[in-house]
């Protein structure tokens, strides 16, 4: 099971639940890691179940899914019951209003004017080959090309297992050198990924896919986690300059609006959204020029999602380059200036903001031979 | 372009304004666990109540701590390893080897203590380095590597000594000790202090018993290392989540090799202490010491799965073990009863260290669930 | 040719392996003869634990005495590391090799009784050294008497304390038979003077480092101690260190047991005045070799040979050291 990616694990969880003879089925975010094709398959199964008389409680924050599958919707916020509506009698805006108190257009704050057109090329990957590893659940990559400018947000789309996370990890240096064949340049100069430490010193930062398993030391504090990657900048003669570090952490936590009593709160007790903000704080403290984000808003509430998107906007406006992997097409379509599509480890499509539509991206993601453009 | 996102509830930015109670709790948690201190105080109280001055005097306490000193030093090294979610079962053997090497250097080569100590530490560091290479580089589980090294090092120890013990009180032909032998006793032969003649606080001119001094210095140095240095944070990160550590730029391999080497170094440092305490080095010296060291670490609040613990906590655990032995001995408790009591204390110490222990006890007593920290929403629920 | 490369290599490797295995089995399956054509008898000795200094001595001496007999060949002594299961396997190994004489120092009586009986069934004569088994089929049992060791220690204590006094006793592992015997003998002997009391006794597990803190605690408690009896020399010397630290070593007498002739051992300690006496528990090596020789030459041997414990006093310490010094027997 460990070798399966998060999305595959989720499908297996669903299958496990369905294999039992159920009368009431409660599903808690069953699609947060699934791409659209798998979601449709799941919905068909749910419709079959309801027709057989099974009651399904479907917990999700993806309103577009609820519109497809739900008969009625109950909204909870901060542990309180907010209200219940018939799905047909309500609008998405009303639901979001109940969930968070803010309108939809503020969930995705990026507009076509924000892209980094005309700015210099920051990151260029001429070719990237990655050896697959069945046992570790790693997909292989073949001849992946990409480029990104300063101030640009580039999205990477594809089905699960298509190699999206692998692209980010390869660039970041998270794999052994012998497995990665790459030619890339950073700020015009050739760059050879060696290790995460090397990447950090050269201005790269990674927000990994699985924040609990890959990014956070859960039993330790916000201050510890946020300061972990930036330690070299706060160390003198091997000793950490604690006061300076804590001041910087406090700064970033305030800017990101991390909701916690103090920066000495244990990270395990935070909500998903706040945990993700701690991870972001850790990355931002290294003052990166390129930020690699792998599913940055997976499993976090709408309010936090909006804040993360706002942050992405601010980073891009400040000149940083962002590469974003996401399974949520609406997010990619709304936030990215360009979208790359992967299928089976190859680039099968590249769309600018104007060209990109959900159908075109899905076509490219599922194409077996060659790509659609 | 963008508007500030508003929420209905005011978001409280994390502050550092702690009230004095939580500040105290925070500083205590840095220096070991509260429960550890409570246990220590309890044992001291029992000692004072049952034996009064016989227990609570400088000589008895010095002797009790001195007897456990080499194991306490091993426990400090073991703390570092356990913090990275590893374990070192070979520390007892490394101590034995260091002890034997020290005795042989003294008895057969007449080296001075100032030469013996660095050599013993180097031998220990080398053994620890091998453990580190096996764990981090060859990627064998540390339990397996150090278990194998336990035997290898013990075999080398016995081979060096030809299976007989080697004394460190070498007498010359006219019945007095050799100069180096006499100096070697400063490492911890009972009744011999260092810095005697120098006017020190608490003890005056009587001097300090080196094993106690060494243990305290080791504890201070390594507590500072763990809490204040970059390596210390890296150690906690590697033990807490090695993947997160690696992706945050920590060189996990280097950290692992370093902690095992430091652990071996400390075992080598304790070698002469053990040889001097017994005025001889036995080829089987240190057998099962790793169990005492690990017990001290666990009682001190560290988690065997890594990421949690501190050196001061281990020191408190070591004090608990040795003072418990002292109090039971002074009260002439029978051997079998002592074994049972010590075993139960270890279990109790681990159980009450659990983070939710107090809460579950209180709620079981009161039968009301204790509310966890929840923010009050200022909005009212809507009706549908 | 290329295709057969692996086949040829495989055949060669297998052949080499077979030859190596055949050569490695060093023990001759049949009685062999030496250079001058006389019959040489093979002796196998299964030791329970080489790590104990007493047993290390035993091994050294046994090898030495075996060499004195030209018609006896002693195989490498096996070490069971205190594991009865290991020792059973090693004894069965000797039986497989069809040794002419089997000597065993059993780790424990029960597990080793069956293999000893198996050896007897195959008509292999067995000598049991020092610790017993639950079968009677052996040719000879050779051992010291731990009760006697304790008794003589007790008699020395009575002599050292003519007006009675307080005695503290440091015991080995409580469940070990030698501990039980020595303790029993000691208490029987000191009963002769009712004014001698054992005021404290504790298990120090045969270890010097365990004895020191125990003695320190006893001294802290403040009762007057006149004599320390330890069931082995390391424990006695550990107690001596503790007493020396409190400057009380001159007021207390120390009696140990073992009497090993090594620089760090009991005999030297008696010479230097740390112990008032110790008792050499015999290694039985000389008798074992002699008995083996007698068996192979067809003579009858005693079924049960008990060897005496030799007291070490300040007067005879120097001579005894010279007599039993390791160096005399070579380093084995």
Q: Convert the pLDDT of each residue in C46-72 to its tens digit.
A: 998 887 778 888 888 899 999 999 889
First to last CA, chain A: 36
Please count the other Cβ atoms lying within 10 Å of the Cβ belonging to residue A26. Answer: 12
Whether C279 has a pLDDT exceeding 50, the answer reads: yes
Are residue A225 and residue A288 in the same domain, yes or no? Answer: yes
Tell me, yes or no, whether C23 lies in a domain: no
CB C257 within 8 A of CB C170: no
Residue B145 lies in a domain: yes
Domain boundary, last residue among C117, C138, C159: C138
Average pLDDT value for residue range C10-34 = 60
Model confidence at C34, pLDDT cuts 50, 70, 90, reads low
HEC secondary structure over chain C: CHHHHHHHHHHHHHHHHHHHHHHHCCCCCCCEECCCCCEEEEEEEEECCCCCHHHHHHHHHHHHHHHCCCCEEECCCEECCCCHHHHHHHHHHHHHCCCCEEEECCCCHHHHHHHHHHHHHCCCCEEEECCCCCCCCCCEEEEECHHHHHHHHHHHHHHHCCCCEEEEEEECCCCCHHHHHHHHHHHHHHCCCCCEEEEEEEECCCCHHHHHHHHHHHHHHCCCCCEEEECCHHHHHHHHHHHHHCCCHHHCEEECCECCCCCCCHHHHHHCCCCCEEEECCCCHHHHHHHHHHHHCCCCCCCEEEECCEEECCCCHHHHHHHHCHHHHCCC
Tokens (6 digits) for A272: 């998903």
- A254 and A334 part of one domain: yes
Chain B: partners with 3+ C-beta pairs within 8 Å: A, C
- Domain finish residue from A49, A80, A104: A104
Domain membership flag for residue C263:
yes
What is the distance between the alpha carbons of residues C208 and B99, in angstroms, rounded to a whole number?
Answer: 14
Least confident of B234-243, B355-364, C297-306: B355-364
The answer to whether residues A81 and A32 belong to one domain is yes
Q: Are residues C168 and C108 in the same domain?
A: no
Same domain, A35 and A171: no
Clarify whether residues A47 and A141 are in a common domain.
Answer: no
Task: Check residue C124 and give its pLDDT.
Answer: 93
Looking at the fold, whether A119 and A56 belong to one and the same domain comes out as: no
Asked if C109 and C197 sit in the same domain, the reply is no
Over residues C217-240, mean pLDDT: 95
Question: Cβ–Cβ of A238/B16 closer than 8 Å?
Answer: no
The whole-number average pLDDT for the span A171-186 is 93
The total of structural domains in chain B comes to: 1
Taking the C-alpha atoms of residue C77 and residue C63, their distance in angstroms, rounded to an integer, is 9
Residue B244 pLDDT exceeds 90: yes
B240 touches chain C (CB under 8 A): no
In a shared domain, residues C125 and C151: no
C185's tokens: 């003998």
The reply to whether A175 and A283 lie within a common domain is yes
Q: Which of A110-124, B100-114, C38-52 has the highest mean pLDDT?
A: B100-114
Cα distances from A123 to residues A188, A190, A204, B115, B350, in angstroms, run 8, 10, 10, 57, 52
Please tell me which of A298-307, B57-66, B239-248, B355-364 the model is most confident about, judged by mean pLDDT: B239-248
Region A324-338: mean pLDDT is 90
Residue B382's pLDDT is 36
Is residue C172 domain-shared with residue C111, that is, in the same domain?
no
The verdict on residue B374 lying in a domain is: no
Tell me if C287 is assigned to some domain: no
User: Rounded mean pLDDT of chain B?
Assistant: 86
The reply to whether A293 falls in a domain is yes
Q: Do C56 and B164 touch (CB under 8 A)?
A: yes
Domain annotation covers residue B381? no
Tokens of C317: 């310490």
| Mean pLDDT score, A98-123 | 69
Q: Which of A215, A235, A262, A271 to mutate to test the interface with B (most CBs of B within 10 A)?
A: A262
- Tell me, yes or no, whether B22 lies in a domain: no
Phi, psi (rounded to 5 degrees) for A185: -135, 150
Q: Are residues C117 and C234 in the same domain?
A: no
Q: CA B258, B259, B264 angle in degrees (round to 5)?
A: 100
Domain, as residue range, for C232: 146-280
Closest CA to C105 of C85, C87, C124: C87
Domain extent, residue B259, equals 34-354
Q: Does A106 contact chain B (CB < 8 Å)?
A: yes
pTM of the model: 0.82
Q: How many domains does chain C fold into?
A: 2
Q: Are residues C63 and C105 both part of a single domain?
A: yes
Q: Give the count of domains, chain A.
A: 2
pLDDT at residue B1, rounded to an integer = 37
User: Do the domain assignments include residue C133?
Assistant: yes
Would you say residue A82 lies in a domain?
yes
Give the span between the Cα atoms of A293 and A326, in whole angstroms.
8
Per-residue pLDDT at C134: 86
The answer, yes or no, to whether residue C28 has pLDDT greater than 60, is: no
CB-based contact B243 A242, cutoff 8 Å = no
B296: which residues sit within 8 A by CB, 6+ positions away? B71, B72, B75, B78, B314, B317, B318, B320, B321
Residue B384 has pLDDT above 50, yes or no: no
For residues C151 and C100, state if they share a domain. Answer: no
Q: Does B3 touch chain A (CB under 8 A)?
A: yes
Domain span at A210: 112-366
* pLDDT value at residue B11: 43
- A148 located within any domain: yes
Domain assignment of residue C329, yes or no? no
- The upper half-sphere exposure of residue C216, i.e. CA atoms within 13 Å in the direction of its Cβ, equals 29
Gap between the Cα atoms of B229 and A241, Å rounded: 9
- State the average pLDDT over residues B267-291: 94
Within a domain: residue C290? Answer: no
Binary contact (B171, C174; C-beta < 8 A): no
Query: Do C275 and C192 belong together in one domain?
Result: yes
Give the chains touching A; criterion: ≥3 Cβ pairs < 8 Å: B
Do B310 and C272 form a contact (C-beta atoms < 8 A)?
no
Q: Is B173 exposed, middle or buried (0-12, 13-18, 19+ CB in 10 A)?
A: exposed
In a domain, B41, yes or no: yes
For residues A116 and A97, membership in a common domain is answered with no
Single residue among C138, C171, C197 that ends a domain in this structure = C138
C247 shares its domain with C219: yes
Residues in B 125-144 with any Cβ partner in A closer than 8 A: none
Residues B67, B322 contacting (CB under 8 angstroms): yes
Q: Are residues C56 and C77 in the same domain?
A: yes
Contacts of A106 in chain B (CB under 8 A): 3, 5
Predicted local confidence at residue B355, as pLDDT: 64
Q: Which residues 108-167 in chain A show a CB within 8 A of chain B?
A: 109, 111, 113-114
Instruction: Measure the N-to-C terminal CA separation of chain B; round to a whole number of Å.
Output: 35
Domain C-terminal end among A104, A131, A161: A104
Q: Does residue B298 carry a pLDDT above 60?
A: yes
Interchain CB distance below 8 Å, B384 and A84 = yes
CATH code for the domain in which residue B193 is found: 1.10.3470
Of A102, A217, A313, which has the smallest distance from its Cβ to B240's Cβ?
A217
Residue B13: CB atoms within 10 Å:
15
CA–CA min distance C275, chain B (Å)? 15
Name the phi and psi angles at B192, rounded to 5: -110, 125
The answer to whether residue A224 sits within a structural domain is yes
Between CA C237 and CA C301 the distance in angstroms is: 39
Assigned domain for C217 exists: yes
In a domain? residue A173: yes
Same domain? C66 vs C166: no
Are residues B245 and A228, on separate chains, in Cβ contact within 8 Å?
yes
Looking at the fold, whether A159 and A299 belong to one and the same domain comes out as yes
In a domain, B154, yes or no: yes
Q: Does residue C226 or residue B170 have the better pLDDT?
A: C226
C134 plus C182 within the same structural domain: no
CA-wise closest residue to C226 among C147, C288, C269, C162: C162
Assess whether A170 and A127 both reside in one domain: yes
Q: Considering C73, C103, C138, which residue would you say is the last residue of a domain?
A: C138
Alpha-carbon gap: C244 to the closest alpha carbon of chain B (Å): 7
User: Assign residue B286 a region: left if phi > 0, alpha if psi is -120 to 50, beta otherwise?
Assistant: left
CB of A145 closer than 8 Å to CB of A342: no
Residue A179 lies in a domain: yes
Asked, for residue A371, whether it belongs to a domain, the answer is no
CATH at residue A252: 3.40.50.300
C19 within domain boundaries: no
Measured distance CA(B128)–CA(C322) in Å, rounded = 42
Is A1 inside any structural domain?
no
Between CA C269 and CA C250 the distance in angstroms is 14
Mean pLDDT value across residues B9-31: 51
CATH at residue C266 = 3.40.50.2300
């Amino acid at each position: 099971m460990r070798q399966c990616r998060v999305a595959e694990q989720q499908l297996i969880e669903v299958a496990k639940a369905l294999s039992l003879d159920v009368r009431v089925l409660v599903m808690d975010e069953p699609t947060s890691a699934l791409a659209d094709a798998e979601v449709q398959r799941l919905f068909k199964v749910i419709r079959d179940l309801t027709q057989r008389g099974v009651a399904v409680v479907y917990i999700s924050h993806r309103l577009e899914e609820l519109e497809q599958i739900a008969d009625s919707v109950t909204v909870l916020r901060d542990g309180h019951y907010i209200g219940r509506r018939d799905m047909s009698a309500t609008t998405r805006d009303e639901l979001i209003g109940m969930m968070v108190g803010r309108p939809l257009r503020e969930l995705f704050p990026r507009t076509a004017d924000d892209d980094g057109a005309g700015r210099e090329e920051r990151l260029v990957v001429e070719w990237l080959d990655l050896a697959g590893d069945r046992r570790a659940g790693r997909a292989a990559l073949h001849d992946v090309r990409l480029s990104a400018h300063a101030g640009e947000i580039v999205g990477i789309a594809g089905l699960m297992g298509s190699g999206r996370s692998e692209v980010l990890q390869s660039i970041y240096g998270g794999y052994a050198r012998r497995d990665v064949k790459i030619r890339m340049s950073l700020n015009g100069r050739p760059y050879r990924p060696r290790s995460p430490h090397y990447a950090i010193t050269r201005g790269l930062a990674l927000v990994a896919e699985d924040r609990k398993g890959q990014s956070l030391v859960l039993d330790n504090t916000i201050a510890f986690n946020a300061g972990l990657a930036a330690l070299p900048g706060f160390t003198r003669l091997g000793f950490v300059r604690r006061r300076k570090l804590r001041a910087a952490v406090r700064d970033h936590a305030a800017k990101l609006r991390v909701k916690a009593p103090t920066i000495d709160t244990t990270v395990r007790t935070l909500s998903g959204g706040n945990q993700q903000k701690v991870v972001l704080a850790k990355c931002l403290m290294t003052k990166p020029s390129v930020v690699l984000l792998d599913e940055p808003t997976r499993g976090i509430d709408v309010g936090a999602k909006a804040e993360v998107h706002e942050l992405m906007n601010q980073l891009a406006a400040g000149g940083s380059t962002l590469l974003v992997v996401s399974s949520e097409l609406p997010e990619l379509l709304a936030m990215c200036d360009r979208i790359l599509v992967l299928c089976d480890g190859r680039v099968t499509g590249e769309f600018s903001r104007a060209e990109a539509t959900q159908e075109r991206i899905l076509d490219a993601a599922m194409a077996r031979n060659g790509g659609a453009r | 372009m963008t508007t500030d996102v508003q929420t209905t509830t005011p978001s409280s930015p994390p502050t550092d304004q702690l009230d004095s109670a939580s500040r105290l709790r925070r500083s205590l948690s840095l220096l070991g666990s509260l429960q550890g201190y409570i246990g220590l105080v309890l044992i001291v109280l029992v000692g004072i109540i049952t034996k009064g001055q016989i227990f609570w005097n400088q000589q008895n306490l010095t002797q009790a701590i001195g007897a456990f000193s080499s194991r306490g030093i091993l426990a400090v090294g073991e703390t570092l390893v356990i913090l990275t979610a590893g374990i070192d079962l070979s520390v007892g053997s490394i101590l034995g080897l260091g002890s034997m090497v020290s005795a042989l250097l003294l008895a057969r080569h007449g080296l001075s203590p100032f030469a013996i100590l660095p050599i013993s530490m180097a031998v220990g560091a080398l053994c620890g380095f091998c453990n580190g290479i096996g764990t981090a580089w060859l990627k064998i589980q540390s339990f397996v590597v150090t278990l194998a090294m336990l035997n290898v090092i013990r075999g080398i120890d016995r081979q060096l000594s030809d299976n007989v013990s080697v004394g460190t009180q070498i007498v010359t032909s006219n019945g007095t000790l050799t100069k180096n032998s006499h100096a070697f006793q400063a490492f911890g032969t009972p009744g011999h202090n260092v810095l005697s003649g120098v006017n020190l606080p608490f003890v005056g001119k009587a001097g300090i018993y080196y094993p106690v001094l060494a243990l305290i210095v080791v504890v201070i140095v390594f507590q500072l290392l763990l809490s204040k240095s970059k390596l210390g944070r890296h150690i906690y990160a590697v033990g807490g989540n090695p993947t997160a550590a690696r992706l945050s730029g920590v060189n996990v391999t280097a950290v692992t090799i370093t902690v095992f080497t430091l652990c071996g170094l400390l075992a080598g440092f304790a070698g002469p202490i053990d040889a001097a305490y017994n005025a001889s080095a036995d080829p089987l010296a240190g057998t099962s010491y790793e169990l005492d060291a690990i017990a001290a670490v666990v009682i001190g609040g560290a988690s065997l799965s890594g990421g949690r613990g501190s050196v001061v906590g281990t020191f408190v655990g070591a004090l608990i073990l040795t003072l418990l032995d002292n109090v039971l001995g002074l009260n002439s408790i029978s051997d079998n009863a002592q074994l049972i009591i010590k075993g139960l204390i270890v279990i109790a110490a681990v159980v009450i260290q659990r983070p939710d222990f107090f809460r579950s006890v209180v709620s079981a007593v009161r039968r009301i669930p204790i509310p966890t920290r929840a923010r009050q929403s200022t909005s009212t629920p809507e009706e549908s | 040719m290329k295709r057969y490369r692996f086949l040829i290599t495989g055949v060669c490797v297998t052949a080499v392996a077979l030859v190596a295995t055949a050569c490695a089995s060093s023990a001759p399956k049949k009685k062999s003869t030496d250079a001058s054509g006389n019959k040489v008898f093979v002796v196998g000795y299964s030791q329970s634990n080489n790590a104990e200094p007493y047993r290390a001595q035993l091994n050294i001496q046994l090898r030495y005495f075996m060499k004195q007999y030209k018609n006896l060949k002693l195989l490498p002594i096996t070490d069971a590391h205190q594991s009865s299961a290991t020792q059973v396997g090693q004894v069965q190994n000797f039986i497989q090799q069809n040794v002419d004489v089997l000597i065993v120092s059993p780790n424990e009586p029960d597990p080793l009784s069956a293999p000893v009986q198996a050896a007897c069934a195959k008509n292999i004569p067995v000598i049991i050294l020092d610790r017993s088994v639950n079968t009677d089929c052996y040719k000879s049992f050779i051992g010291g008497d731990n009760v006697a060791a304790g008794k003589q220690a007790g008699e020395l204590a009575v002599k050292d304390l003519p007006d009675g006094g307080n005695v503290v006793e440091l015991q080995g592992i409580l469940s070990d038979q030698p501990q039980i015997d020595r303790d029993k003998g000691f208490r029987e002997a000191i009963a002769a003077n009712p004014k001698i009391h054992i005021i404290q006794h504790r298990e120090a597990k045969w270890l010097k480092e365990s004895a020191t803190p125990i003695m320190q605690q006893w001294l802290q408690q403040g009762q007057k101690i006149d004599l320390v009896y330890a069931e082995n020399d390391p424990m006695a010397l550990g107690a001596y260190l503790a007493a020396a630290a409190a400057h009380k070593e001159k007021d207390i007498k120390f009696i140990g047991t073992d009497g090993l002739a090594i620089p760090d051992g009991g005999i030297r300690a008696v010479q230097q005045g740390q112990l008032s006496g110790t008792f050499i528990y015999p290694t039985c090596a000389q008798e074992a070799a002699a008995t083996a020789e007698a068996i192979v030459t067809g003579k009858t041997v005693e079924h049960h040979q008990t060897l005496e414990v030799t007291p070490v006093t300040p007067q005879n310490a120097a001579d005894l050291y010279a007599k039993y010094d390791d160096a005399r027997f070579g380093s084995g």
